Amino acid sequence: MPFTLAHLSDPHLAPLPPASLRELAGKRLTGWLNWRRKRHLVHDRAVLAGLVADMQAQKPDHIAVTGDIANIGLPAEYARGRDWLASLGPAHDVSFIPGNHDIYVAGCADMAAREWGAHMRGDAGESFPYTRRRGPLALIGVSSGVVTAPFMATGEVGEAQLQKLGALLDTLKDESLFRVVTIHHPPVSLAAHHKRLIDADALKAVIAAHGAELLLHGHDHRGMLNWLDGPDGARVPAVGVPSASAKPGMDHDAAGYNLYRIDGKDEGWSCEMISRGIGVDGAVTEIKRTML
Taking only the tens place, the pLDDT of each residue in 85-119 is 999 999 999 999 999 999 999 999 999 999 999 99
Higher-confidence position of 252 and 172: 172
Residue 1 has pLDDT above 90, yes or no: no
Q: ∠ CA 29-32-35 to the nearest 5 degrees?
A: 155
Residue 266 has pLDDT above 70, yes or no: no
> In sequence order, which residues have a C-beta less than 8 Å from that of residue 263 and are 6 or more positions away?
1, 2, 3, 269, 270, 271
205-208 own/partner pairs: CB under 8 Å, 24+ apart = 206/162, 206/165, 206/166, 206/169, 207/169, 207/181, 207/236
pLDDT value of residue 196: 96
| Mean pLDDT of the region 158-176 | 96
Q: How far from each other are the two terminal CA atoms of the chain, in whole angstroms?
A: 18
Distance CA 171, CA 48 (A): 37
The alpha carbon torsion through 25, 29, 32, 34 (nearest 10 deg) reads: -170
Higher-confidence position of 180 and 25: 180
Structural domain count, the chain: 1
Residue 43 has pLDDT above 70, yes or no: yes
Q: Which amino acid is at 91?
A: A
User: In the chain, pLDDT over 70 holds for what percent of residues?
Assistant: 99
Q: If pLDDT is split at 50, 70 and 90, which confidence band does 252 have?
A: confident
| Mean pLDDT of the region 259-285 | 91
CB 5, CB 213: distance < 8 Å = no
Q: Which amino acid is at 164?
A: K
pLDDT value of residue 288: 96
Distance CA 76, CA 83 (A): 11
- The mean pLDDT value of the chain amounts to 95
Residue 39: give its domain's CATH number.
3.60.21.10
| Mean pLDDT of the region 181-206 | 96
Q: If pLDDT is split at 50, 70 and 90, which confidence band does 265 have?
A: low
Higher-confidence position of 1 and 258: 258
| Parent domain of 91 | 3-291
> In sequence order, which residues have a C-beta less than 8 Å from that of residue 219 and are 6 or more positions away?
9, 10, 66, 67, 68, 99, 100, 153, 155, 184, 185, 186, 189, 191, 195, 240
- Could you tell me the pTM of the whole model? 0.95
**Nearest of 259, 225, 292 to residue 62 by alpha carbon:** 259
